[in-house]
Amino acid sequence: MQSETARGATALRGIWGFYGDHKPHGDKLFQLVRRVPVTTIIVDTPQAIARSFDIVDELTNWHGLVTSEMVPAAVSLTGSRDGTQKTGETPLARYDY
């Protein structure tokens, strides 16, 4: 998911999974298609993530589960390069849904 809408994304691929009443399954030595769970995590501002929803909808058109949650705060540390002086603030996230 490389686009102008998000600053970065991390994809994690599982080694096995299951669905419904099927037995757990994973990768095999000789197979053409991988059938393991994948999780993609995007951390960005609410506005940038909202711009990414069209891409997410396209990728999860036939199957998939999409969740979204607000990270309540971010810590910002500033100070001198030698590390002797640090100040921090915790601006709480705000967004109108």
The answer to whether residue 17 is domain-embedded is yes
Residue 64 belongs to some domain of the structure: yes
Higher pLDDT, 17 or 7: 17
Distances (CA, A) of 6 to 34, 59, 80, 91: 26, 15, 30, 21
For the segment 64-85, the average pLDDT, to the nearest whole number, is 66
Does pLDDT of 92 surpass 80?
Answer: no
- Residue 53: domain span: 10-89
Q: How far apart are CA 47 and CA 52, in angstroms?
A: 9
Listed residue (13, 6, 71, 74) closest to 40, CA to CA: 13
pLDDT at 80 > cutoff 60: no
- Global pTM value: 0.53
pLDDT band at 29 (very low <50, low <70, confident <90, very high): confident
Residue 3's pLDDT is what? Answer: 56
In a domain, 44, yes or no: yes
Total domains in the chain come to 1
